[in-house]
Structure 1
């Protein structure tokens, strides 16, 4: 397709899977993350397209601005942003949660999401031809929380509001915005699930996971929609994970 794409958090996990899926479809993909080495590892795994690693801190407005300035200077436009960078926190009861733990999660999962979406929106609005697509990484926690997950769950509920607002405000400019809510993709972040994680009834239970490449294919599907169509929300999850029927 040779779309011009940006994937944040592209050095591992879901971001890497999405970037490789887009690259495999022939796209030019800017691979963004804090450290260059894992981005270069992602680039080396590509089977097509053009991979361009770029270091950036999504919580820093200046760093985000420099990244988008580079894309504008080198390519003149941006067609797709997969707004993926995020962190999770260990399970901690709300009564024991500290301000620092709250802010650490929100700074990446919400502030970083806003900074990248805002820069992408303006670029897509102002470029010619106008328009583009923003895909925000939500979570099944945007629907139902896990025990001890207040910062993460709150951030993902906020991402849903952000997605809806961008989708509405983008209509006049051809900027589509959708959200992918992912459950138990097999990444380093979810490895703990193979040993057991807290359930709503207080039990510890091993949870099934799915191949992270299935998420990559989902992002490619969303990115490949024509300009007059949009996947507003999609949930992709391990078939037998305890999400439907939680509690």
Structure 2
């Protein structure tokens, strides 16, 4: 494994106790960063509901009070939501899926930008999905939320392009984590059949790309969404 230099960086990972979040945390620690995880799980560094505006603001205040700066934000909090035909998708399920995947990304980005602006440097990496590019049948809420993450990334990347803050996203296909167990077996089989490489991605592969996007080496890309789909969608 090539070591990405993140020495001395303060990195915040939302959804940091999930499969991808844990892999990112390990990779960041190996690269020299100090990590803070936000999650509802008991093992989180700070137990925060990232869909709650006040909780996110208070969590950022605590982080800045402890470290004085924030260098990296990774938005990895997410749920797939139900895999059902749209006529069986309730409004409550829709709102929850949008909130966890998209609203949390907005709230965390908004909280992170102010300290990053003050230091005129930072990296934001948002977890989108191939579903946000192509749409997954019977996953309307998730697909719409991840499309929103891609659009948010484009807009914020342009908004901050005159600074040294870079904002990018990843669009993974199926990654072998507990999150995939939220899919029905039929949906899982359908999305796996679309991956030319013929397997699910590994959390470590996601973490490796995020580590580069969070580093100084990523200096000319912003507002972009990078493919991580095993060849399903190379655009």
TM-score range, shorter chain: 0.7 to 0.9
Change (3 A) 1:98 1:195: closer
Q: 1:168 to 1:157 in 2, by over 3 A?
A: same
From the superposition, tell whether residues 74 and 186 of structure 1 become closer, same or farther in structure 2 (CA, over 3 Å): same
**What are the residue-to-residue correspondences of 1:39-188 with 2, within 5 Å?**
39=44, 53-126=45-118, 128=119, 130-188=120-178
Q: Structure with the greater relative contact order (CA < 8 A, sep ≥ 6): 1 or 2?
A: 2
Rounded to whole Å, the distance in 2 between the matches of 1:227 and 1:97 is 39
Shift of 1:215: 0.8
Q: What is the aligned partner in structure 2 of residue 44 from structure 1?
A: none
May I ask how many residue pairs the two structures share in their alignment? 220
Q: TM-score, normalised by structure 1?
A: 0.82
Cα separation, 1, equivalents of 2:33 and 2:97: 31
Distance in 1, Cα, partners of 2:34 & 2:228:
25
SS for the counterpart of 1:143 is helix
Partner of 1:204: none
Question: Any unmatched runs of 5+ in structure 2?
Answer: 1-6, 192-197
Q: How does 1:2-41 map to 2 (within 5 A)?
A: 2-37=8-43, 39=44
For the residue of structure 1 that corresponds to 2:161, the secondary structure is helix
Corresponding residue for residue 221 of structure 1: 212
CA-atom RMSD, angstroms?
Answer: 2.1
- SS of the equivalent of 2:160 reads helix
Residue 180 of structure 2: which of 190, 194, 197 is its match?
Answer: 190
User: Is contact 1:131–1:174 with CA below 8 Å preserved after alignment?
Assistant: yes
1:104-146: CA deviation from partner (whole Å, max 9, x where unpaired): 10111111110000011112112x3x22111111000111111
How big is the shift at 1:174? 2.2
* Alpha-carbon distance, 1:217 to partner: 0.9
- Work out the CA distance in 2 between the residues paired with 1:150 and 1:173: 35
The corresponding residue for 1:210 is 201
1:194 and 1:90 map into 2 onto residues whose CA distance is 9
Q: C-alpha separation between the residues in 2 aligned to 1:212 and 1:193?
A: 18
Structure 1: which 5+ runs fail to align? 40-52, 201-206
Q: 1:227 deviation in Å? A: 6.6
- Mark the CA change 1:225 to 1:236 in structure 2 (over 3 Å): closer, same or farther: farther
Q: What is the CA–CA distance in structure 2 between the aligned matches of 1:167 and 1:86, rounded to whole Å?
A: 21
Q: Which runs of 4+ in 1 moved over 6 A?
A: none
Q: What CA distance in whole angstroms lies between the structure 1 residues aligned with 2:183 and 2:229?
A: 14
